[in-house]
Structure 1
C-alpha cells in the first residue's frame, strides 16, 4: 500500500462550486476554482511580444487579458461558450462575452471571488493568525 494514498485522485475532496449574486441579473452565476495547470495555460496566452527599445522584441504580460481569462474560465453558469448568449451580446468567444456582459465593478467582484475560492486570498499572515488561535 502506497504511503501517498491521501494524495491519490480518488482521495482528494472535489473542488466546490460557489454561487454568486450580481444585482443586475435575476439568477446567480456559478463559479468554480481553477487548477494551477489551467491558470498556467491562461498565463502563457497572455504574453505578447512587443517592439521595445532599439527595435528589440520584448515579452510583455497583459494583466487585463489574464484576469478576464481566469474569470471567464471559472464561470460555469451561464455558459459563456453558448452561441445564443454570445449572439445576444454581439460577440464571439467566452472572453469577449465576459468583457461585454459584466460591468467593471461586477468583473472586480467575480475576480475577487475566483481568487478566494482558488486559494489565492490566503496569506502567511492568515496562517500565523490561525496558528495563534
Structure 2
C-alpha cells in the first residue's frame, strides 16, 4: 500500500477550480457581451454546515422534527460559492439597496436564475444528488 495513490494533484486542483457560468443575460459589460459569474465548488462539510445554519428543530407530538429553510440554504450556498461579482462590494450592495451577500443575490436574480446557479454549484461540487436524498441524509 502506498500513500502516493492519494496524493492526487488533479483531485486537489478540482476543489480549487473557478468556473464561469452565465446566470443572466441581463448583465452585460461595456462591449455588450454577457458577463458570466465566476463560481467555485463547495465541499460536503461546508454544504452540510450551511444546511444546519438554516435549519431548526421543532417538537410536535413529543417528536423532534428538523425543518430546513430551503430558500435561505440556497441563497447561502450561492453566496458562499460566487467569486465574481464580489457580493461583499459596498457599491454593488448600495446600488441594490441591500446589506448582505444573500440579499444581494435575491435582489439581482430571479428565482429561476438562483435555482440555475445553485444547480450549477451543486454539479461542479459533485453534490448533484437529488435534493430529496440530501434532505434525508441531513435528517440522519
TM range, smaller chain:
0.7 to 0.9
1:126 corresponds to: none
More displaced stretch, 4-13 vs 75-84: 4-13
Match of 2:123 among 116, 121, 128: 116
Q: Compare 27-36 and 5-14 and name the one that shifted more.
A: 5-14
What CA distance in whole angstroms lies between the structure 2 residues aligned with 1:105 and 1:11? Answer: 32
Instruction: Report the equivalent of 2:45.
Output: 37
Q: Which has the larger radius of gyration?
A: 1
Gaps spanning 5+ residues in structure 2: where? Answer: 29-34, 131-140
Query: What CA distance in whole angstroms lies between the structure 2 residues aligned with 1:101 and 1:13?
Result: 32
Match of 1:46 among 51, 54, 57: 54
How much has 1:8 moved relative to structure 2? 3.8
Q: Provide the TM-score with structure 1 as the length reference.
A: 0.76
Gaps of 5+ in 1: 124-133
Asked if the contact 1:5/1:11 (under 8 Å) is kept, the reply is no
Kept in 1: contact 2:20–2:38 (CA 8 A): yes
User: Partners of 1:119 and 1:87 in 2: how far apart?
Assistant: 34
Please tell me the root mean square deviation across aligned C-alpha atoms, in Å.
Answer: 2.5
- The answer on whether the counterparts of 2:50 and 2:77 sit within 8 Å (CA) in structure 1 is yes
Assess if the C-alpha contact under 8 Å between 1:48 and 1:61 holds in 2.
yes
Listed as ranges, the matches of 1:41-80 within 5 Å are 41-50=49-58, 52=60, 58-80=65-87
Normalization by structure 2: what TM-score?
A: 0.73
What displacement does 1:77 show? 0.2
Take 2:20 and 2:85, find their aligned partners in 1: how far apart are those partners?
Answer: 11
Partner of 2:31: none
Per the alignment, residue 101 of structure 1 pairs with 108
- Map of 2:96 onto structure 1: 89
